[in-house]
Amino acid sequence: MYNTDSINPLINEIVYKTNDILSNKDIKQDICNYVYLVTIGLVLKYKGIKDDIFSLISKVSIVTKYNDVLKIAKRYNKDDVFKDDKVKVMTFYDKDNDSYVMCIKDDIKLEGILFLELLVKEFNQLLNSMNNSSNYEDGCEVKRSGLYQEYLHNDKVIKIEGNVINEVFNILQSEEIIKLILDLKVCNIECDNVRNILNSFKVINSDDYTYTGNNVLVNIFRRLYNIDSFKDMITNVLLNGNVNELKESIDDALGFDAYKVLDYNLTEAYIDFEEAKISNLKVYDYTVRHCLLRDMINLYIKKNYGEIETT
């Protein structure tokens, strides 16, 4: 996929600039090496916004010491949430300094493909939340993170939209980014830090890789995401923060409030999925709700793109 003669100068530039940014932060070198990979992956996916990516990296501090993590979580009134075993990382926005604090639990193994997934997904979410993160609609302040939106009135959250659909597309984008990173394994990479981590991954190549958080809900949207023109649209929607563009596209194809119907059923399907996991029940692809979601996505594809082959 990559030309070694052209990829090495790009990697060396990214590592040099990222290292220069991280040198002013108290981050272990082992973690810095993974941030190099994350930055490389983001630059390879989001062509043309390299400066925005470096700007994001400069705004993020990473904390892994348990006591420090709990202090920060408590400061943002999220200490109870962070004690949940399922929560492995949380990132807090420091409005006063226009910066982010990424808190990672110390029970996580800070290496390997799972750690790369965690960092890629978290940084990708931040990148997709930088623009148009707050606006006003129908008398409410709307705070946006990716496709997730909180509607606030008098500083109280009165409505939430897009929590699960945001997670779905973040997983699909993160998987794509990691595949781009894994494709570098076949290149003769000059940078020791990057080459050594790539060689440590048990995954041989990108064709053998699927994101660990992949599930039946993600797979419902995979065919849609693999359509290049849709992928371009969702990328622009997320980077520019214009969630209404996606809502209008779905409503135009499927009817009035179709996005709300999709969002509601996706959220309920996710709850079903989590409850089934807790109860050790098998989650079937073809429950009624899953079939509804699958049919909505297939109809959206047919109306917008026709019966086309996807990669």
Whether residue 172 is found in the same domain as residue 31: yes
Whether residue 225 is found in the same domain as residue 179: no
Whether residue 180 is found in the same domain as residue 61: yes
pLDDT confidence band for 311 (50 / 70 / 90) = very low
pLDDT of residue 285: 52
- 199, 220 Cβ separation under 8 angstroms: no
Q: Could you tell me whether strands 60-63 and 99-104 are parallel, antiparallel, or unpaired per DSSP bridges?
A: parallel
Whether residue 102 is found in the same domain as residue 56: yes
Whether residue 29 is found in the same domain as residue 176: yes
Q: Using a CB cutoff of 8 Å and minimum separation of 24, what contacts does 92-99 make?
A: 98/59, 99/59, 99/60, 99/61
**Residue 139, in any domain of the structure:** no
**Residue 205, in any domain of the structure:** no
Whether residue 119 is found in the same domain as residue 46: yes
pLDDT of residue 5: 87
- 197, 34 Cβ separation under 8 angstroms: yes
User: How far is the first Cα of the chain from the last one, in angstroms, to the nearest whole number?
Assistant: 16
Give the pLDDT confidence of 173-189 residue by residue, as tens digits.
999 999 999 999 999 99
**Residue 64, in any domain of the structure:** yes
The mean pLDDT value of the chain amounts to 91
Domain count, the chain: 2
**Residue 233, in any domain of the structure:** yes
pLDDT of residue 83: 77
**Residue 300, in any domain of the structure:** yes
Whether residue 13 is found in the same domain as residue 123: yes
pLDDT confidence band for 288 (50 / 70 / 90) = confident
Query: How far is it, in rounded angstroms, from Cα 156 to Cα 153?
Result: 5
In sequence order, the β-bridge partners of residue 56 are none
- 143, 133 Cβ separation under 8 angstroms: yes
Give the pLDDT confidence of 202-239 residue by residue, as tens digits.
876 788 899 987 788 999 999 999 999 999 999 999 99
pLDDT confidence band for 242 (50 / 70 / 90) = very high
**Residue 71, in any domain of the structure:** yes
Q: Is the pLDDT of residue 309 over 60?
A: no
Whether residue 181 is found in the same domain as residue 222: no
Nearest to 295 by CA among 247, 258, 244, 252: 258
Q: Which of 3-17, 40-54, 67-81, 119-133 has the lowest mean pLDDT?
A: 67-81
Whether residue 258 is found in the same domain as residue 181: no
Whether residue 70 is found in the same domain as residue 177: yes
Whether residue 40 is found in the same domain as residue 97: yes
**Residue 138, in any domain of the structure:** no
Whether residue 60 is found in the same domain as residue 172: yes
Say whether 192 sits in a helix, a strand or coil.
helix
Q: Which of 27-31, 73-77, 280-284 has the lowest mean pLDDT?
A: 280-284
**Residue 148, in any domain of the structure:** no
Identify the domain containing residue 105 by its residue range. 4-130+168-185
